[in-house]
Amino acid sequence: MKYWARKLAGAALAGLLLGAAPLAVSHQAWANQVIQATTTVNVRSGPSTGHSVIGLVYWGHTIEAVGPSSDGWTPVNLNGRTGYVASQYFTGGSTSATTTTTTGAAGTATTTAALNVRSGPSTGYSRLTTLAYGSTVQLTGTTSDGFAQIVFQSGTAWVSTAWLSTTSPAAPAPAAPAPAETATVSGQMQTAADLNFRSGPGLDQTVIHVIPRGTTVDITDVSQNGFRQIVRQNRTGWVSQQYLVAIAAADPPAPAAPAANGQLYTTDYLNLRSLPSLQGAVVTVLPKGTAVTITGAKNGLWQEIIYQGAVRWASSDYLATTPPVVVAPPSLTTTPAQAKELARGQVAARGWGDDQFQCLVSLWERESSWRMNAENPSSGAYGIPQALPAEKMASAGSDWRTNAATQISWGLGYIAGSYQSPCGAWQFFQGHGWY
C-alpha cells in the first residue's frame, strides 16, 4: 500500500477510535443477521467510544448482529459475548444476501486440524466448541461459502471445509493450529532479545515458540497490556513491546563474549535465560550437576554465564562451587502392569468409572509408559505422571521417587484440580501434546 493510502486508512481508523463524526449514513442491522466490516473496527463493551475495546473485526470479515442498530451502534455476538460496533463501518444486514448454499451428498469427514464449530456458515458466527485433530463429523450435505453443515448435539452447526478430509488420517499426530484470523500488517520491527511469541497479550498466555534476537517481524497496529500483536509464520500472536525496536540500517557486529572468571555447578535443573529476569526467554535447560563458565558479573540474584560463546543468565540460587551428589534413579520395583492396577483402585476410590481409567491409561502410556522411574533428560519431568518439577510429588509423600502409589496419588490430584477428570486431561493432551 502506498504511503498516502496508508495515511488515509489510518486517519479513517483514528476517526473511529476518537469518536469522530460519522463518515456515512448508518446502516441498520437486525437481530441474527450477518454484517460485514468495510475497515478494521473496534468491538467495544458498550455503545460508545468511552467503553473499553474487547476485540476487533478486520476488513472484509463478518460478524453476527444480535439486535437492531441504535444511535449509530449495533450489538454483535463476539465469541458468545455481546459487544458493540459502529454501524457506519458495516454493510449487509441480511442472513442470505452474500451466501451461496448448495446441497450435496451426506456422509462423514475427519478434521485435519483443531477446528472451530460455529453457529452459522462464516467466522462472524459464534464459536460453539473446538474439535480436536482427527475428530469424525457427520455431514448433512449442505455447504455454504466454504463452510459445511454438520450434525452437532441435538441439531446442526457449521465448520470450515478447508480443514475436513473424507478419509481418516493415517496415524494420530499432534493437533495443528487452526489458521489465525487475518490481521492487517502495518510495518516491521526487530526483536532486541530472544523473545517469547505468545498466544495472547499476557505472561499467562501459552508460549508458541521463542523468536531469536535480531529477527525482523511483521507488526499490526494492535497493542494491549504492554504487548504488541504480530504476524509470524502465517499466525497471529503477541510479544512484549519493550523488546521491539526499529530495524537497524545494518546489523552491528556481535560483541565478543566477556572473559571467563571461574566455574560453578548446577544444583538442579536450571533455566538459562537471555536476560537477568524471569521475563528473559529460556534458551535451554541445564541438567543437575552441569559445570558452567561464569564471568563474575551479577545482576541482583542473577549470575552471568558464558554458554556456547554467548552471554546468558541463571539464578544464583541453583549454582554452587562444588558439584552436587546426583542420585541415580531407583531401579524399577513396580512394573507398569502393577502400576496400572494401583491406579485402577485409586480411580475407583475417587468415584470415576472405567471410562476415566481407560483415558488415564492412554495419557500416562504416552507420558511415561507407566514406568515409575521414567525421567525426561531435558526437562527433569519424573515418574509415572511426569511431574515437573519432580519435587512437586513430595506433597503426596516423601517416598515419591520410589513409590508408584504415591506418584499415582499426586498425579490424580493434579488431574482433578486442573482438568476435572482423566478424560479431560487426555482430551487436552491430544490437542496440545502436554497436560
CATH number assigned to the domain comprising residue 143: 2.30.30.40
- Judged by DSSP in three states, 242 sits in helix
Average pLDDT per block of 10 residues along the chain, 435 residues long: 37 36 39 75 88 80 83 85 87 53 77 80 76 86 84 85 66 43 79 87 83 89 90 87 80 67 88 89 84 91 90 92 71 83 91 94 94 85 91 88 91 93 93 87
Q: Is residue 179 part of a domain?
A: no
- Judged by DSSP in three states, 126 sits in coil
Tally of domains within the chain: 5
Last residue of a domain, one of 113, 133, 165: 165
What confidence score (pLDDT) does residue 95 get? 42
What confidence score (pLDDT) does residue 227 get? 92
Q: Against a cut of 0.75, is the pTM above it?
A: no
What confidence score (pLDDT) does residue 304 get? 94
CB 120 within 8 A of CB 158: yes
Task: Please state whether 383 falls in left (phi above 0), alpha (psi between -120 and 50) or beta.
Answer: left
Rounded distance between C-alpha atoms, residue 243 and residue 212, angstroms: 11
* Structural domain containing residue 307: 263-320
417 lies in the same domain as 387: yes
Question: Which phi and psi (to 5°) does residue 310 adopt?
Answer: -120, 155
My answer on whether omega of the bond before 389 falls inside 30° of 0, hence cis, is yes
Last residue of a domain, one of 49, 70, 92: 92
Q: Where are the alpha helices (DSSP H) in 369-434?
A: 404-419, 422-432
Task: Please state whether 213 falls in left (phi above 0), alpha (psi between -120 and 50) or beta.
Answer: beta
